[in-house]
Structure 1
Amino acid sequence: MESSPIDSSSNASSVLSSPTSSPPHSDRDHQQITLTVTQLEQLKVEEKVSEIYRILSGAPTHTQTLM
């Protein structure tokens, strides 16, 4: 199954934004980043994993030792 390119949304473009060293209002600011379906799914999975880690790190110490 081949991945087809998809126009990125605000979430994906914020993750892959250009570094702060580029000058303001450069041509890179006006380019749209195109991600494949696989890349978009990977970003969703990474967000979920990050959310799980945040939840687990907020657990009490005693609970963390039981996990």
Structure 2
Amino acid sequence: MNKMVKGYLLKDRGTVVTDKSLIENAKDDEFVEVSIIITMEEIQGWNEEIEMMGLDEESEEDRD
């Protein structure tokens, strides 16, 4: 199974982000909206990395 998310391609750099504000000083017209397809295996890999870094514990503490 795959997950599809909206992304934004910064035309002059070939960089794709999911949040335009990550690129400082870029204007809306410098982006093209794209679709990003991410495999569940990739997402699971990210989850394992987050767990290894202990970031999942921080987010659980924030919820309490």
TM-score by length of 2: 0.43
TM-score by length of 1: 0.42
Of Structure 1 and Structure 2, which has the larger fraction of its residues in strand?
A: 2
Give 1 or 2 for the bigger CA radius of gyration: 1
Of Structure 1 and Structure 2, which has the larger fraction of its residues in helix?
A: 1
